[in-house]
């Protein structure tokens, strides 16, 4: 999945990123979230650097990677400083790992999602831990490029299912049996 992302030309990627941001704006207009947990794409992740600049959202939180790879949160916009793995992270007060419980919409990074809602991450287990804390009513979406919504992914009991994927062509709901019962 990473190799396919790297092989995209900058022009094709920029166009797909802009389309993904337009679809995300539609999702925000529909869900009308008070608080959104977003992320700052890095190294060819869908959405581009402007992903967290979400118009009309009262409160935007970005992840701050803890030494144990769990996720803390800080508000955005804020000055960005370099974190581990080449991540850019917001300065400002750390709100704690439970800040995600206040989010109505979570935009989570992923390399692929299956049609039954399993998300493939980068292997830190960060979002598995963070998504276990989201409110039952919250919506979890993963921005993806074309071809990254797949039929099957290997799942383990700690994997937390997601609700929908956002691609350049639109939103697609994925089916799962509940946040704490991975498909
Ligand atoms: N943009 C973005 N922010 C994010 C995540 C993410 O996946 N994307 N995370 C999602 O959890 C957390 C950070 N976790 C990360 C874990 C690994 C790598 C990474 O680059 N891993 C290398 C190999 C690491 C190594 O040297 O062992 C890789 O995948 O090539 C990056 C972020 C929080 N913020
Ligand atoms: N709640 C948890 N507490 C501690 N470790 C966990 C937890 N959930 C998952 N892990 C560990 O994290 C590791 C990586 O899991 P996995 O490969 O599913 O990550 P991922 O979903 O790809 O990554 P990420 O969530 O960071 O995007 C596994 O070794 C797993 O045991």
The answer to whether residue 132 is domain-embedded is yes
The answer to whether residue 137 is domain-embedded is yes
- Which atom of ligand 1 is nearest to 71's Cα? 33
The answer to whether residue 178 is domain-embedded is no
Q: Is 76 labelled a binding residue?
A: no
pLDDT of residue 181: 54
The per-residue pLDDT for range 49-74, each reduced to its tens digit, is 999 999 899 999 999 999 999 999 99
Domain around 71 = 2-173
* Domains of the chain: total: 1
The answer to whether residue 82 is domain-embedded is yes
The alpha carbon of 11 is separated from its chain's Cα centroid by a whole number of angstroms, namely 23
**pLDDT of 177 above 80:** no
The per-residue pLDDT for range 7-40, each reduced to its tens digit, is 999 999 999 999 999 999 999 999 999 999 999 9
The answer to whether residue 37 is domain-embedded is yes
**CATH number of the domain where residue 54 is located:** 3.40.50.10420
The per-residue pLDDT for range 86-131, each reduced to its tens digit, is 999 999 999 999 999 999 999 999 999 999 999 999 999 999 999 9
pLDDT of residue 175: 87
Taking the centre of ligand 2 as the mean of its atom positions, its distance from the CA of residue 115, in whole angstroms, is: 20
State the average pLDDT for the chain: 95
- Is 106:37 a contact under the CB 8 Å cutoff? yes
Q: Is 123 labelled a binding residue?
A: yes
User: Which sign does the torsion angle of CA 32, 34, 37, 40 carry?
Assistant: positive
Ligand 1 lined by 127 (C-beta under 6 Å): yes
- Which atom of ligand 1 is nearest to 45's Cα? 1
The answer to whether residue 179 is domain-embedded is no
Q: What is the ipTM of this complex?
A: 0.89
The per-residue pLDDT for range 128-144, each reduced to its tens digit, is 999 999 999 999 999 99
Residues near 113 by Cβ (< 8 Å), separated by ≥ 6? 119, 120, 142, 144, 148, 149, 150, 153, 162, 165, 174
């Amino acid at each position: 999945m990473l190799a396919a992302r790297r092989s995209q030309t900058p022009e094709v990627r920029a166009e797909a990123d802009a389309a993904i941001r337009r679809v995300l704006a539609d999702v925000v207009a529909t869900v009308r979230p008070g608080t959104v947990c977003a992320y700052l794409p890095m190294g060819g992740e869908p959405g581009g650097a402007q992903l967290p600049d979400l118009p009309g959202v009262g409160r935007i939180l970005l992840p701050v990677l803890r030494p144990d790879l769990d996720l803390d949160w800080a508000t955005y916009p804020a000055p960005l400083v370099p974190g581990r793995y080449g991540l850019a992270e917001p300065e400002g007060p750390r709100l704690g790992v439970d800040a995600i419980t206040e989010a109505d919409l979570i935009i989570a990074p992923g390399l692929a999602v299956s049609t039954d809602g399993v998300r493939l991450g980068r292997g830190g287990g960060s979002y598995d831990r963070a998504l276990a804390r989201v409110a039952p009513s919250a919506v979890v979406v993963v921005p993806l490029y074309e071809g990254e919504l797949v039929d099957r992914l290997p799942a383990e009991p700690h994997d937390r299912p997601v609700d929908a994927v956002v691609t350049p062509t639109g939103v697609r709901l994925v089916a799962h049996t509940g946040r704490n019962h991975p498909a």
